[in-house]
Structure formats: structure tokens, C-alpha cells
A and B are shown apart, each in its own frame.
Chain A
Amino acid sequence: MQARRDFAPGLVLDARKRSTMRERIVAAPEPAQVFVLLDQGDGRRGTPCVREGERVRQGAAIARADDGPGADLHAPVAGRIRSIGPHENLREAGPGIVIDNDGSDERDSRWEPCPDADSLDPDDLIERIRGGGIVGLGGALYPTAAKLAQGRDRSVTHLVLNGAECEPWICCDDALMRETPGEVVRGAQLMLRACGAAKCTIAIEDDKAEAGAALEAALAAAGDARLSLAVLPAVYPAGAERQLLTAVTGLEVPQHAWPPAIGLLCQNVGTAVAIARLMRTGEPLIRRIVTVTGSGVAHPGNLDARIGTPIAELIAAAGGYAGAPRRLWFGGSMTGRALPDDAWPLTSAMNCIVAATAADLRAPAQAEQACIRCGDCARVCPAGLLPQELHRAVRSRDEMLLERFGLADCIECGCCDYVCPSAIPLVERFRQERVAMRERAAEAARAKAARLHFEHRERRLAELEADRRREFEDARRRARDSSRDGG
């Protein structure tokens, strides 16, 4: 756990995954009940298309994406819809659909393998991916079909598959690449067809020797000259999208723009495998590989689990709790979000569940103090920001300074927090301020729209008034003329 000794940003962290990286993927037992959350992050929410009491088959669509980019949700198990809306015991998780598993595993009739996927029209391919509800499995949950379509529209030339998995604890992608490298390669080929890129690079970190070897073998077997493997140094956050793209291609994604602007597209390897499975068996997104680990778990490992499985059951499948776990979070140790209850269900955003004991945690050794401007945070920031200046700007809520120092460009990786000697919770502050900034921007946009409507209305009423006056003048003139003429 030390800052890098050269001048490039980022941190070299203790990976905490040596033992889990040796484990094979284990299928988690099917849960008796699943709770599929409707929220998909960033304000996207699915609208249920089933009713309570209705019986659904595995893989049937249970929620549709509302306007804007979103993905359909499918039933992870066959059974009866128990409830739709907030869960009675878990209101804080938000609304979702509870399905009681009837154990039949009956598959929805729409599940159809697609053997000739390679000759499908790219738009049809994207449509199938959309119908399968595939979303980015790296954690951001962005609908894959929409992303591929955007890539197609912007004529991207280079697809990069993110297998870096740079954050401590997470190794589900590593397991996937070790055990099913062929599916990764297949998924890459399908994505290339969908987005129209000319080549694809699979990027991994250099601490994944076994996965690298497996992928090399799979690539050799496939013999597709468009695909290649890139091995990057194991530095956090090498797997952050922009930093990864720069490390692989040497190009930089411009500020306020997205990768397709420079002809690049990035997807997670788990997403690629989900697409390959969709084409091979017709199965929509109803499961994912999740690393269940931490010193608070008896037998850490990688589980193949259904979406909506209660986390408590996943932990039980991994041998149950060990020691005295104090904190439960999903994700890695740098950006993981803590969960208050292990009844919370697995979502497609969760790549790793960590039950941490006190040994796995290291809180700041002291209460928060004033910033001493040591500059260590700036040294490690992968986005090239000055967190100490941002902190000052956030405290004074100075919009001009926030823009000058690039708060919008913060990727919330946590490197600055990690090194701060004054124990300032930088990422928390930045995240809150970014939310506040977005709200202020939305407020300003609303106010502007209201002003334009008001001004338009004033003009409209003024014109009406002018028309009326003109008609009145005309009528009066006509009356005068006629009375003059008439008598």
C-alpha cells in the first residue's frame, strides 16, 4: 500500500484476492425468493409489466425501460409474482418485484438461441441485445444495446474490453476469463459486429497471469486477427474507463465528451460473456458472477448467482459468516457502497460482496482536520485534478472555482481519500457537491425554460391584443364609412 514511486498517478494497492483468484466458479443454490430492484442507477427506473399474483416463466420480461436509456428486466426464476413495489421488510432498497420460486425452472418461450448471429444484420443484433436486457456488468449498468448503437452511430473503430479489475477484492472477471475465455472472445466478436469497430483489445492487469494465458489460448484458437490482448501494470484505477482507454490506445478522451468521440468504445468482459450466452442459449440477463469475499466470510469464492438473490443466501453459499463482520459492502474497498442489511438483493451492478471484519477496514486514524495542502492527493489523482483546491472550492461553494478545477471530471475513485493525512472525506464531499451541481444545473435549465415560456406568452398576448385593436379600428372605420355613405 504505497503511492507509486514514479510520477504517474494512481496507487499500488494490496489486492486481497490471491486466494479467491485460485477458486473455480461455483453455482449458488437457487433462491426460494428473488427481489428484483427496479432502479438502474442515474435516475433510470424500470416500469413493471406484470401484475401481482401472475405466474411468470424464467427469463420472461417483468419490467420495461421507461423513456430514455434503460433496460428491460427479466424474471431470474420461474414462479409467482408475490409483490410489486417497496419490500415490506426492506423499504430502504427501493421498489422492486418479488417472485416466489416454484422450482420448476420453466423457461420463457422467447428464449431462442441464435446460431447464425455472425450473419445477423448489426441492427438486429443490437435489438436482440436490447431485448435480452443486457447492461454493463462493470457496475455502471449502462444499457449495452444503447451503448453499442451509439458506437455504431459515431463510427467507432476500436473496441476495448475491460478485464482490468483493478480494485481490491473483486475477481469475478478474472474467474470468467480463466474459465470461459472462449465466451469472452465470442462476445468480443459479436460486439464488433454490433458496433462496427474494426478491432478489439482485451485489457487485463499483469497480476492475472492465469487469465492472461487462458485468453491467449482462446485467441489463438479463434484465429481472429481483429482481436488482441493488452497487459497493463496493476495500478489502481487502471480499470477506470478513461484511464484504461488511454493506457491501451494512448488517446485521451476529451473533457465533457464520451469515448465514441475519438472512435473508442469500452465494455466489460462480463458483458461480453452475457452477450455470448444470449446468442448461444437465448438466455437474457438473469444471473451474474459475483465474488463473495472478505475476512468475514468462511469460504470466499466466485459464485454464479441469480439476480435478486438475497445477499445473506450468497454468504451462506460461501460458507457463512466467519469472525465478527462489521461492514457489508458491494464493490471493492475503494468505491464499495456499504449496505445496511444482508437481506438486500443481488443486482446486476454488484460484482463483489465483501463482509469485512475489523481487520479488513482501516478508518482514518484521527478525526478530520484542516487541509495542510501537502499535495499528496494531487499526486495520485488519475484525472489530473487538484483535490486540495476542489476541497476549498466545495467548502465555499464557488461555482467558478468548481468549474476551473474540474469537479465534473472527478471519477470518484477514492485515491485522494486514501492518501490524505488530514483524514478529509474528499470523495464524499465531491460526490455530494456533484449531485448539488447537477441539481443546480437542472434548476437553472428549468428556470430558463419557464422564462422562455413566459416571454413567449407575453408576446402572444400582446399580438392578440394588437390584433383585437386592429379589428376594432377596422370595424369602426367601416361603420364610419358606411354611415357616411349610407345616410
Chain B
Amino acid sequence: MNPETLALIGGAIVLALALGGTLGWAATRMPRDADGLVERINALLPQTQCGQCLYPGCRPYAAAIASGEADLDRCPPGGAVTAQAIARLLDRPPKSPDPSYGTTKPRQVAWIDEARCTGCARCLPACPVDAIVGAPRLMHTVIAAQCTGCELCIAPCPVDCIELRAVTAAPPSQPLAAGC
């Protein structure tokens, strides 16, 4: 191998190391759009605010995913769709939700059996989206349109009057078509 070839190869290696090292160093010094990333992950989460991921709400979990503290397979209400969407956003291999954090259920809303409700108001502060209306010793009811089905109100109720009901799909719509 003549000196010219050696010089060429050596130069190429030096150049590669220099450029790669510069880029790597620059990546660490560039301001990270951390907040923006958390927002984007949060936008993909179902906002059930159930806490099954062991974080107090969807945004804290999104922050944990962004910082690398938690993996993206912890959201049962989001299911596989959410896990894959987050994986695609972060350019990671997709992962199925981990069943140890809960099972993915079809859409459900809570319903209070008014015959059994005692008006103790213990479920009111439990709801993370304020979907239960009521006051002490007055009837409580769940605003179905606002309920995310997170099940956090079930445990506090002393008379077990809250149950979860599957949401029936709306009747299929007619085709738009002709009208002619």
C-alpha cells in the first residue's frame, strides 16, 4: 500500500471522526424542544386521566415518556393505537400495551344508580374531569358526555352505586349520495 493511499484513508477517517463528533456535540448543545415534545405526546393520549399508567394524569405520563423515565406501553385506554402512534412520533419500534398496567376496554361511561345513591359526595373529588354533578345529601349524576370511563369514582363509593356501561354505537348513517 503506497503512502498516497494510506494518506487518503487516514484523511477520510479523520474527517469522518471530526464531522461526526461535531454533530454529536452540537446535538447536545442545541436547545431541546422538550415542552413541544410533551405537548405532542399528550395530544396522542386519550385524556382519560385514569392513572393506570401510575402517573397522576395524561400530561405527567407524557412528560415521563419524553424524558425517557417511562416506556410508551403503559396506557390501556389508548390501547395499541396510541402506543403505535407514540412509537411513530418518537421513531421507536412499536410496542403493544403492557397488560400489567390494565386491560384495554371498549368505550364506557359511568352511571350512578339513583335509587342507591346516598349523596355522600365522595365520588365528586375523585373524578379527574369533574364529570359528576352533585352536592352532599343531594342526588349525584354523571354527565355522560364528559365521562372518560377512567373508573376512579368506583372505589370511593361506599354503597357501590356506580357502574360502568358500554357506550352503544350511533346508528350507521345513510350514504350521502345522490338525492336524485
Query: Taking beta carbons and an 8 Å cutoff, which residues of A are in contact with B?
Result: 39, 41-43, 45, 94, 136, 138-141, 162, 164-167, 170, 237-241, 244, 266, 268, 331-332, 334-335, 337, 349, 410-414, 431, 435, 443, 446-451, 453-454, 456-458
Contacts and interface: CB of A to CB of B under 8 A. Distances in A.
Contacts of B31: none
Given A453-B146, A454-B57, A457-B130, A413 B178 contact: yes
B179 interface: yes
A414 B176 CA distance: 11
Contacts of B175: 335, 337, 412, 431
Contacts of B176: 140, 410-412
Contact of B129 (A431, A435, A450): A450
A352 to B, nearest CB: 11
Contacts of B49: 450, 454
Interface string B50-73: 000000011000000000000000
Contact of B46 (A410, A435, A447): A447
26 contacts: A43-B173, A136-B179, A138-B180, A139-B179, A140-B176, A140-B179, A167-B180, A240-B178, A241-B179, A244-B180, A334-B177, A334-B178, A335-B178, A410-B176, A412-B175, A412-B176, A412-B177, A413-B177, A443-B46, A446-B47, A450-B46, A451-B42, A453-B131, A454-B129, A457-B128, A457-B130
Contacts of A167: 178, 180
B30 interface: no
Nearest to B77: A447
Contacts of A332: 178
Interface residues of B, number: 25
A239 B179 contact: yes
Contacts of B178: 138-139, 166-167, 237, 239-240, 332, 334-335, 411, 413
A308 B175 CA distance: 21
Contact of A453 (B45, B129, B179, B180): B129
A457 B179 contact: no
A258 to B, nearest CB: 12
A450 B148 contact: yes
Interface string B138-180: 0000000010100000000000000000000011111111111
Contact of B47 (A39, A136, A164, A447): A447
B174 to A, nearest CB: 4
B129 A139 contact: no
- Which residue of A43, A453, A456 has the most chain B CB atoms within 10 A of its CB atom? A453
A139 B177 contact: yes
A41 B174 contact: yes
Nearest to B57: A454
A237 B130 contact: no
- Which residue of A39, A141, A435 has the most chain B CB atoms within 10 A of its CB atom? A39
B79 to A, nearest CB: 11
Contacts of B46: 443, 447, 450
